[in-house]
Amino acid sequence: MAKLKKAETAQLREKMLEMYPDAECALHFGTIFQLLVAVVLSAQTTDKSVNEVTPALFARCPDARSMAELTEEELQGYLRRIGMYKTKAKNVRNLSLMLVEKYDGEVPEDYDKLVELPGVGRKTANVVLSVGFGRQRIAVDTHVFRLANRMGLTAEKDVLKTELALMKVLPEETWSRMHHALIWHGRLVCTARSPKCGECGLLGICKRNGLK
User: Among all residues, which ones are annotated catalytic?
Assistant: 123, 141
CA distance 93 to 37: 10
CA distance 131 to 35: 8
CA distance 154 to 82: 32
**C-alpha distances in Å from residue 212, one per residue of 77, 199, 205, 206:** 52, 19, 10, 9
3-state secondary structure 122-137: HHHHHHHHHHHCCCCC
DSSP at 104: T
Whether the CA torsion 80, 85, 89, 95 is positive or negative: it is: negative
